[in-house]
């Protein structure tokens, strides 16, 4: 999925999200949304810009970052105020590592999705 025209699954897409959680308590540590935000911060070097791209308020984006770092108990982002451009936010080395692992997993997942979807449509068309 997405399936071929005429299939029940036309225009429907089998998708996934990646997140971090505590193994024992199952508490969410980093949601898919928080990962997306990190990717956008990396791309734009700005929390304001990332928030706009995600179509959420700056206030919410700021809270997402705050919660990410609070839950992990280490920082992911270097932030600064003032200066020529008003300030910026960039991933620190820990943030980069995490985002790199995320990207690797995403790439592997994308391949899995393709394989399984192909098999699915072979099955329902037999």
Partner DNA sequence: TAGCGATAAGAAAATATTTACATAACACAA
Partner DNA sequence: TTGTGTTATGTAAATATTTTCTTATCGCTA
* Contact footprint for a copy of itself (CB under 8 A): 1-2, 8, 11-24, 29, 32, 72, 74, 94, 97, 100-101, 104-105, 108-109, 112-113, 115-117, 119-120, 123-124
DSSP H or E run through 89: strand 87-91
Q: Is 26 in the site for DNA (CB under 7 A)?
A: no
How far apart CA 24 and CA 83 sit, in angstroms, is 44
Q: Specify the residue, 46 or 68, whose C-beta has the smaller distance to a copy of itself.
A: 68
**Binders of DNA in range 48-87 (CB under 7 A):** 48-49, 56-60, 62-63, 65-66, 79-87
Using the minimum distance from each CB to DNA, give the nearer residue, 6 or 82.
82
Find out whether 75 and 92 touch, Cβ atoms under 8 Å: yes
* Interatomic CA distance for residues 35 and 20, integer angstroms: 9
**Closer by beta carbon to DNA, 60 or else 118:** 60
Distance of closest approach, residue 6 Cβ to a copy of itself, in angstroms: 14
Helical (H) or strand (E) element with 48? helix 47-54
Q: How far is CA 84 from CA 42, 45, 71, 79, in A?
A: 19, 14, 32, 14
Task: Build a one-symbol-per-residue string for 87-106: x at contacts with DNA by CB under 7 A, - elsewhere.
Answer: xxx-----------------
Residue numbers at the binding site for DNA (CB under 7 A): 46-49, 56-60, 62-63, 65-66, 79-89
């Amino acid at each position: 999925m997405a399936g071929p025209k005429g299939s029940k699954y036309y225009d429907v897409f089998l998708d996934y999200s990646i997140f971090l959680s505590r193994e024992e308590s199952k508490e969410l540590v980093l949601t898919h949304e928080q990962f997306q935000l990190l990717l956008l911060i990396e791309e734009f070097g700005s929390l304001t810009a990332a928030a706009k791209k995600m179509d959420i308020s700056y206030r919410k984006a700021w809270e997402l970052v705050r919660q990410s770092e609070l839950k992990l108990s280490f920082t992911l982002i270097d932030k600064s105020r003032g200066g020529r451009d008003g300030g910026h936010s960039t991933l620190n080395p820990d943030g980069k590592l995490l985002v790199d692992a995320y990207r690797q997993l995403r790439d592997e997942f994308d391949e899995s999705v393709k394989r399984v979807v192909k098999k699915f449509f072979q099955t329902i068309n037999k």
